[in-house]
Each structure stands twice: as C-alpha cells, then as structure tokens.
Structure 1
C-alpha cells in the first residue's frame, strides 16, 4: 500500500512537472509529503548510512511513479495539451485553488505569524515575473538541440540546474523555466524520440540529467534549512508561489508549440475546475486511508 501511494504521488508530480505553469513541488506540498521529499533528497548527501537507505527507498518508490507519469505525459497526454488545453488548465486551476484551504489548515500555527506575510507577496511577484517572460511571442521560439556543441551542452546543463531548482519549489514551474530558455519543446521531443528508441538524443538527455542532479544538490540544503529554521516565512512564501501560479496556469495555452490565447471566462470550463477539487479530495482520501492502514505496522 505504501508503494502504491508513493507511486501515485510520483505519477502526479510528473504530470505537473511536464506542464508549463504547474509545479510538481505544489503536488508534494498539497499532498503533505513535501517535507519528507526534501529531507529524503537532503540525506542523500548529508545523512548517515541508515538515513540514506531510508531516503533512497522513499525516492525509489516516488521515482517509479514519476517515470511512469512522465512517460505517459510525453507519449499520450501531450496530445491533450494541444486539443484540450483549456479543459486541462481549468482542471489545474481547480486543483490549485481547492488546495489552498487545506494548506492553510495544515499550517495554521505558522500562518499566525502574520508579520511574515511579506514573503507571500514576494512569492506572488516572483511567479508573475517568471510567467510574464513569455519567450514564444506567438512564434514558438526554441533552441535547436539536434547538433550538440560544447557551448550548447553547457547551456543545457545550466538550464537544467535552474529548472530543477524551480520544480522543487511549489508554485514555480520548471517547465516554464525551460520554456523561457527555449528548451521545453526540444527536451520533451528528445524524451519522446528516446522512448521510441531513437538514441541520437541520448547525449543531450545525459547532459540534461547531470544538470538536474547538480541543481538538486545545490538547492536542497537551502530549502531544508529554510523549512527547519524559518518555517513561517517559507510557508507564506510557498503560498505566494501557489497564488501566483494561478496566473501562470491561465497563461499556459500561450506556451504551446502552436500558441493559443490565454484562458478567459469564455474558455474556462467549470466542470473540469470542479473535477480538480474532486481529484484533490480523492488523493487526500487515498493518503488518509493509506496512513490508517500503515499505522498499526509502525
């Protein structure tokens, strides 16, 4: 049951990570395993041997679901982003908005320190600035990665580091960062080609993967220290990131390979918005059920 729950968590994180405007870190925070996720990454480089084993076990379960989710997103769900982008954007809006009361209830002790609300404003502004930097300009501008050069390899490595740092933080979309750098469509296409056994993109994906690992090592200690020592400020900041991400989600259609107009009231789908809340309730129900089942074993 624990394996199934963590695979579902990883699967949901991957779906979020693959969409510009949505963050896998948001999924982790909403479903209540963000601290465990950050701690598990942290102990890989800073923990004892036993803590490293526990961290690896947790991340392996999460990783299985993540890879299944990312593969599904690249091979199957990507087509929905073109044909059903407004329905999906409405779904993500519902998920994000309905999650806010749950987080406020969970972190009510921290949120009593209202002097830290400035960090919420900073979080909102940060996401709005990132979302406003739309590199496509309606033209679908992307970096050509078919012919790898030393400069391009270094560029991909650095961009991967920055993108994974964004993915770790709730509210900031790593996919949006890749889009800003002109790498979102090329990397998604490279993964799709690799899954179809086209190995010519393997070196590019390796460089990207090493950049991701370097970014994780660089950001995790900072995030963990902030959660441990400045939790109230960090929770307000994360809430700000999530509130700001609502604008990023509404702008999501403009980030497609063939850009579409941003979501408006006319293209908003109330049914899928409500389904976002239903989906969130189902995930939290699964979480509560699993924790209840596992409790006697501990």
Structure 2
C-alpha cells in the first residue's frame, strides 16, 4: 500500500475555487462510489468490535486522509461558501466543499454494517470469542507490518513516537471497565470521546464506549431503535468530530511521517486488546473474559489449526484491502 503523501511545504494545498468542481461529485464513478460504500461497511464492522478501530481500516484502505480532509472542512466557514453563490448553487458549493458524496456513501456503508452485523458480531463475541479475536488479531498484525513499511527514513523521533503510541494504546486497553448505568449527558460525552477514538487508527471507539460503561447501552439502543439514546450519542459524535479532525488534519499535513509512526504505534498497542486467548479473573471462559493468557493455558486448548487459519484469513483480507486502496490511489 502507498499511503497518499501530503503536499510539500512549497506546494500549499490551497482550496479550489468554488466554481471548479474537483471533488467526488464529478470525479468518482458509480463503481468507485460502490467501493467507498464497501470500505464503509468494513469500517463499520471493525468499529463494532471493542478493540479494532474503523480508522485502521480507513488508513489501510487508502481513504484516511480524504476522510480527515472532508470532516475537517465542516464548520462555520461553510456559511460564507454558501453566501458567495446562494440558492441551489450555494448548496452545491457547500456539498463539494465537504466532499459530501464521499461522506454519504461511507456513512451508508458504516450504517449498513451496524444494522446487519452488530447482532452477528455480538453473538460471536459472546459465544465464539477465541475465533473472532483470532481473525482480528491477524488483521491487526498485517496492518502494523504494512504501515511500518510505509514509514520512510526512520529516526529517533519517529521511533519514540511509535513507542509512545504503542504504550498509550496498551495502557488504554488495560484500564478497568466502568459499569454504571449511563445518563443521556454522559452518553453525549462518551459519544464525543468514542468518535475521536474511531478516527484514530488502533484505538477502538467501541472499546472506549466499553471502558466508559456505555457500550451495551448503545448496542441495545441500536437493536431496539431507542432514538433518544441514538440521537444523543450521534450529537456527541458530531461535536467530537468537529473539534478533533482539524487538529489531526494539521498534523497530517505538516508532520505526515511522524504522525504515521504515532498512529502505527496505536495500532500495534491494540494487539493487547485483540489477543485471542482470554479468560476471566477465575480462569474460566465467559463474556467477562478479558485477561490474556498464553495459548497453552487456555482452558479448552490453543486450537492451533483454527486460530492460525483465522489469523491468516484476517491478514490476507487486510492485504487485499491494502492492495485495493493502493490501486485506487
């Protein structure tokens, strides 16, 4: 995979004139839009699992910078964009400014995964945790190896940033879970924090919700269509996005390789959370199993054939996704 590079300092990325449509509305074909939708589904499926980040999928699929650019363009300045032309032309100018067609198809893909896969993945996490964690472990390992190869000219600074990202993700993954019943204001706050984690590769938004004691509440709200909870969490997510993505865009545009090293460290640190062999505090297997053990210490045995096979499957799929993203770029 070749991750798109940011503009050089002597080649500033000035915004295009409003009457020059250089965004997705004229550039992307229906086939490419379908590809964005599929990548959105992959991001949604990853975000459902507490330990895997949709941002990881976006990065490996070659749409991460485009996503950050689109989200960071949403803000008060859009009113000025609209006023310059007004009416329908102004609305179309705003649509192009935020790369809205790209965001729309991506969100449709994410929503499709949440609507169709949330129940399946929750069932597998509860009943076949070893196998689903094995799949995602292979996926994350392959992602780390691919991204490490993309970091050019390793130096002490980038190595330190990688280590900082790794240690931070390990610490976050090891925090105790909160179990209190969340209120709506608390869910708003949890949504704002979780969406920042969803955008950051390696830090799972759903795991942040789990840490904050809001994961089961949100998942149940999706199943039962509890719109008061859904809308509250969505409002928090929108707020978090508007505050966070601008800072991340600034880092990517000025310190791309250093930021990539930090993000890769986040992903590597998440391997602690997606380690397949887990037991509970008493060494038993149940939905509360969060303690990592060595494969041979697993109560039912390591299941080498199935676990390694699923790891290889995850690695192959993420490699294909990387190839697809590279080909699209």
1:285 CA drift (Å): 4.1
The answer to whether the 8 Å contact 2:142/2:319 transfers is no
Check conservation: 1:253, 1:259, Cα contact below 8 A.
no
Alignment pair present for 1:234 and 2:280: no
Q: Taking structure 1 as reference, are residues 144 and 115 closer, same or farther at Cα in structure 2, changes over 3 Å only?
A: closer
1:124 aligned partner: 166
- Deviation of 1:44 after TM superposition, in Å, equals 2.1
Deviation string, structure 1 residues 68-122 (Cα, Å, up to 9, x no partner): 01112223332111222111111111111112232233342xx434422211111
Report 1:172-183 matches (<5 A): 172-183=203-214
Q: Which residue of 2 aligns with 1:218?
A: 243
Aligned pair partner of 1:143 in 180, 188, 196: 180
Instruction: Provide structure 1 residue ranges, at least 5 long, that are not aligned to the other structure.
Output: 136-140, 146-151, 195-200, 293-298
Pairwise mapping of residues 237-276 of structure 1 onto structure 2 (< 5 A)?
Answer: 237-250=262-275, 258-260=287-289, 262=292, 264-266=294-296, 267=302, 269-276=307-314
Partner of 2:43: 13
Q: 1:251 to 1:65 in 2, by over 3 A?
A: same
Aligned mates of 2:278, 2:45 — CA distance in 1: 16
User: Which 4+ residue blocks in structure 1 deviate beyond 4 angstroms?
Assistant: 46-49, 251-257
Q: Secondary structure at the match of 2:295?
A: coil
TM-score (norm 2): 0.76
Distance of 1:254 and 1:13 partners within structure 2: 27
In the alignment, structure 1 residue 203 sits paired with structure 2 residue 228:
yes
Instruction: Call closer, same or farther: CA 1:287–1:233 in 2, change over 3 Å.
Output: closer
Contact 2:55-2:200 at 8 Å conserved across structures = yes
Matches of 1:42 and 1:51, distance apart in 2: 13
Shift of 1:51: 6.7
Q: Is this contact kept in 2: 1:43–1:51, CA < 8 A?
A: no
1:253 is displaced (CA, Å) by 5.5
Contact 2:139/2:314 (CA < 8 Å) preserved in 1? yes
Query: Relative to total residues, which structure has the larger helix share, 1 or 2?
Result: 1
Change in 2 beyond 3 A, CA 1:182/1:41: same
RMSD (CA atoms)? 2.4
Cα separation, 2, equivalents of 1:174 and 1:165: 7
The CA deviation at 1:3 is: 1.6
Instruction: Assess if the C-alpha contact under 8 Å between 2:62 and 2:326 holds in 1.
Output: no
Quickly say closer, same or farther: Cα 1:82–1:236, change in 2 above 3 A: same
Matches within 5 A, 1:1-298: 1-45=31-75, 50=93, 52-53=95-96, 55-108=99-152, 111-135=153-177, 142-144=179-181, 152-194=183-225, 201-250=226-275, 258-260=287-289, 262=292, 264-266=294-296, 267=302, 269-287=307-325, 291=328
- CA distance change for structure 1 residues 284 and 231 in 2, over 3 Å: closer, same or farther? closer
Are residues 66 and 21 of structure 1, via their aligned partners in 2, closer, same or farther at CA, if it must alter by over 3 Å? same
Query: Larger Rg: 1 or 2?
Result: 2
With normalisation by structure 1, the TM-score equals 0.83
Q: Say which SS state the counterpart of residue 44 (structure 1) adopts.
A: coil
1:38–1:51 Cα change, 3 Å: farther
Distance 1:29 1:252 in 2: 27
Offset of residue 203 of structure 1: 1.1
**Separation (CA, whole Å) in 1 of partners of 2:154 and 2:160:** 13
Q: 1:51 and 1:125 mapped to 2: Cα distance?
A: 40
Give the Cα–Cα distance (whole angstroms) in 1 for the partners of residues 48 and 279 of structure 2.
15
